[in-house]
Chains A and B, each alone.
Chain A
Amino acid sequence: MKHNFLCKDSLKAPVNVTWEITEKCNLKCLHCLSSEIMANNQGEIDFAGCCQIVDELERMEVFQINFGGGEPFLREDFLEILQYAQNKGITTCVSTNGTILNHELVKKLKEMELLYLQVSLDGATRETNDYIRGSGTYDLVVHGIKLLKEYHISNFSINTVVTRVNFNEISELYELASYYNAKLRLSRFRPAGNGKKTWDFFRLNRQQLFELSCFLGSHKDVLTGDSFFSIASEERRDLGLNMCGAAKMTCCIMPNGDIYPCAFLQNSHFLAGNIKVDSFSKIWQDSKVFKSLREINVESCKKCSRFSYCHGGCPAVAYFMYNSLGYHDPECLVKLDEEINNTISILP
């Protein structure tokens, strides 16, 4: 049903916009999707420009802005930008690495009503997290999470990018999040930025994907940001999107104003425009890149029993694997099922 609404006619505006507000970051995570934009150093839109963008998003009736980066709190005027968006009635979500949360900052965040926080933690143990995110980060992040609990901030989640390295700690992360009155949010590891280099090492194997699908089915309170719709089980069918939302209900603004369909498609092939050259609404409505994403047709998936669950899955992963759109997501639950069944059938 959602598919019909999103594909027949495109929405007049995105539902939410991901905005990588800064190139600055104090970490060098092994799976960082934004490592290329940080290396390019193409500059950031200034405060006045950011306010103009917020004004336009408000005019277009965009419901939510998801701020990321880089590390958003490293940008000196970020709190002002955040407040400006909230004053316009736009719900805001900030994805932070959590290492610079302190009393002063958390007190200010406590005052903000339309704010959700996602704090990244990639392991339930110091060893695992620090392997991925850098030495000493576990202690800093847990300190930040403790502060959020101390100040009774309830709208926050612990965000984990699921990899082969931390897969066995998901249950512990779930318990850890509960302990701090937070939700656990699991994100899919995808081949973007540093993730291209670490893809083969970090990506889940088929058995792990199957187990993750079962875990998500039995833990409906775990958030996924719709990143695991390709392996969604029946139990989670109505919890989120059943297809990729890139260019249909979301898109991504880079620190320099470049616009892409999603944060995982930051490739010149998918550059839809720049907000300093064209208005956001013009890019949303007229971009050829966006139109092509809205018309993706994964022929090979159409007869699949799970087509209504995922509509072909994540184009970013498919593009990385096959260098073309229109292919199915390689991390597909049906293929996984077939392989496991075949394995069982040859047992003596």
Chain B
Amino acid sequence: MENTIKNISYSLSKWVRVRKETFGLLFYNGKEAKLTFVKSGMLIDVSNDKDKIYRLNINNEIKEKEKEKAHLFIKILLKKGLINET
């Protein structure tokens, strides 16, 4: 199960933006002007291309035990509707 999840990229839902902070990730829902602080440290990577399409991935360099924690964060973010599977 973990192996299938860890290679998945996640995109941001409409109106949602994200940026890295020292504590992890800061999400902003522009429709509701709502912030979500995620204390994920280095567990989740954020990248964007030249068209500013953001992708979230579980950091490949973290230990297996930490990946479990990262999956939990991803689950919560999916449930909150901040990200989608791509």
Contact = CB atoms under 8 A, between A and B. Distances in A.
B17 A11 contact: no
Nearest to B18: A61
Given A2-B37, A15-B35, A63 B23 contact: no
A11 B35 contact: no
A1 B39 CA distance: 11
Contacts of B30: 63-64, 91, 114
A11 B21 contact: yes
A9 interface: yes
B4 interface: no
B54 to A, nearest CB: 10
A89 B19 CA distance: 13
Contacts of B21: 5, 9, 11-12
B26 to A, nearest CB: 7
A12 B19 contact: yes
Contacts of A5: 21, 23, 37, 39
B51 to A, nearest CB: 11
A303 interface: no
Interface string B7-25: 0000000000101111100
Q: Tell me what chain B mostly uses at the interface: helix, strand, loop, or mixed.
A: strand
Interface residues of B, number: 14
A56 B37 CA distance: 23
Nearest to B27: A63
A3 to B, nearest CB: 11
Interface in B47-75: 52
Interface string A131-164: 0000000000000000000000000000000000
B23 A64 contact: no
A63 B37 contact: no
A13 B21 CA distance: 9
B23 A8 contact: yes
Interface string A16-36: 000000000000000000000
A63 B28 contact: yes
A11 B28 contact: no
A91 B35 CA distance: 13
A13 B37 CA distance: 14
Given A61-B17, A89-B52, A114-B30, 19 more contacts: A5-B23, A5-B39, A8-B23, A9-B21, A9-B22, A9-B23, A11-B21, A11-B26, A12-B19, A12-B20, A15-B26, A15-B35, A61-B19, A63-B17, A63-B19, A89-B17, A91-B28, A91-B33, A116-B33
Instruction: Identify the 3 closest CB pairs spanning chains A and B, nearest first.
Output: A63-B28, A91-B30, A61-B19
